[in-house]
A and B are shown apart, each in its own frame.
Chain A
Amino acid sequence: MDKKRREFLKIAGISTLAGLGAPAVVDRLVSGVSPLAARAAVEVQPGGHGAESQAPAEHGAEVVPTGKQYGMVIDVRKFIAQPGLADECIKACNVSHNIPQFPDPKDEIKWIWLTGHENAFPDNSQYHLSETMENNQVLVLCNHCANPPCVRACPTKATFKDKNGIVAMDYHRCIGCRFCMAACPYGSRSFNWRDPRDPQGGLDMNNLNRLFPTRMRGVVEKCNFCVERLGRGEEPACVAATGGSKAMVFGDLNDPDSEIRQVLKQNYTVQRKPSLGTKPSVFYII
């Protein structure tokens, strides 16, 4: 078996032609069905996995958001009238979600916190502000935006808009790239630079909410609007901490009959940095 180069090249050429040509011939034989359509037909067989959920809207129309959009109204007047109430809300959140309290502000983990009026509402005019407002600390948290920039920035879909309109986090998927932190205009996201269970200044491991996990080092965390409590039919921990004072009202912004919509109807409210177009779901009565 002594092959000449010339013969080898001939055989190689014919094989290449056959290899390239065969699929085309096979496609012709499958009576006029184009390869793409044939593949799609196989996938959309009844019972096919994800066939229903991935059906595109007809004529490329946008899917109408029929779901809920949970939101919150924070009545700043009531927090001014009741000093200390805001701290109780923060404490309730910290306890409920096992949030570590690191002394160094660089390591800080914040879900809900207090900030100066000017910092909370930099869009609004701060010119000749009333004395009360000038010195007031406003309760701020994740705005659970209807158009969240953090969700668009996340490369792993670790943060996403859930069907209740909550900007949720899946810590299993977070790779700690902190793009979301750069994208969030409200500073609502905190990075776990240190292990939350760090014996030096982290969580008190003997005094935890055993129904909720902690986080691990290297993930970004944020307010989750207490999805776990909502799932049990309870209201968010901060709202519960305000008692019946209605200093915080939580509800579905898309339901015209909800309490929060009545409050919004009756009061003049502002949002944080509305000009950015993120459509924040947290409203403030100043």
Chain B
Amino acid sequence: MLKMNRFSQEKAPILEALNRYKAMRVVPFDVPGHKRGKGNRELTEFLGAQCLTVDVNSMKPLDNLCHPVSVIKEAEELAADAFGAEHAFFMVNGTTSAVQSMVMSVCKCGEKIIMPRNVHRSAINALILSGAVPVYVNPGMDRELGISLGMSLADVELAIKENPDAKAVLVNNPTYYGVCSNLKAITDLAHRHQMRVLVDEAHGTHFYFSEDLPMTAMEAGADMAAVSMHKSGGSLTQSSLLLINNGVSEGYVRQIINLTQTTSGSYLLISSLDISRRNLALHGKQIFHKVSAMAEYARTEINKIGGYYAFSKERVNGSTIFDFDVTKLSVHTLDIGLAGIEVYDLLRDEYDIQIEFGDIGNILAYISIGDRILDLERLVSSLSEIKRRYAKDKAGMLSQEYIRPQVELAPQDAFYAESESLPLEESSGRICSEFVMCYPPGIPILAPGEKVTDEILEYIHYAKKKGCFLTGTQDSQVNRIQVIREG
């Protein structure tokens, strides 16, 4: 997908406006109170004066994120052009807020939305906020690797048939592991049934700047997409884009965004989006070519070690793995007798290497333009050492199973229902009113409104034992769980 106007993409309106503003040497009698850093020397020393001088408030020459009319508007238009969308919103509350805004833009309270269950918590949070009701499609499961996949077209079709009143289909594309669904076919199908198509494209920014990577949401004709610029796009953490298409109302979506987004949008985040968009538009193709090559190199080297399986396109099956993002370096570890989370911890504690996450059976190392081959050599050599020093018999290793959720109540109803706290081991059979998940990846094991089962409790217990970081519950230790009061 590379069809933008190259000439105008060399502009960076927000960067230019901030530079003009700095040159004016305006005396600030407005917020922020650190006054270009002068009022907080320690912070300025730590973050740098350059950074603090552009931590400024909205004002006429710099536009206003809540209602853009000048430089932010122009920068958003350039981003829309770069991503092939009708409009692009700059988001400063993370892709979480972009996902929530998508759901809330198309679903009102009580309306149905079709989605896979292996979504990020932000999508289910959106259901709690909006009162929309999920229709879960079971994602495919790769039993060998123990990872959940994309939705098959047939399963989406069935869900649409059974729920013709649903307003939208949400697709998680690609997944954290780089698995893509048949986005084009799902989009066409949903559109034939007058449903909107929303794409959580948090892990797919780079698809927009390469001809060799899987299809993007905008190319597939989806209506909205949430794109984490701060992941593969290189902008600052928490900055993101929301793309719209097919006549979705810009004004209405902006109102929805403004329901929950800050009115003090950070210019550090906003300018990072502008600068990163320019960089991607001008150099993205070379960048992701190089990233793909690095990931491929690392895969080859890791597979040479033996025992590990760094998987890629050979898993494509035409349905639940319709395509694969080759920039993702996912490695299956169970065959050396170690859980992914154990390898993840060893890499950090023993070898000073921080990877993106480890789950029960796999690790994911995030490869980007910031990487160097010599760092990849360290990763590969460390994996080789971990195998030499720690490999065990694989007997007794649990593979990740997709546990089909038993949804008893809509997430909003469950979240706000009268609840009580129970020890985990006494909660089987009850309906929970909160989340339980490993973070990362942040995909709920339990979501509000779902029934707690022995199988789920066993899984939580195993994940804890292996060292997964569990979160979501009121109890910070995740020993107790909120369940809906009975009777």
Q: Does A associate with B in a complex?
A: no
State the A residues within 8 Å of B (CB): none
Residues of B within 8 A of A (CB): none
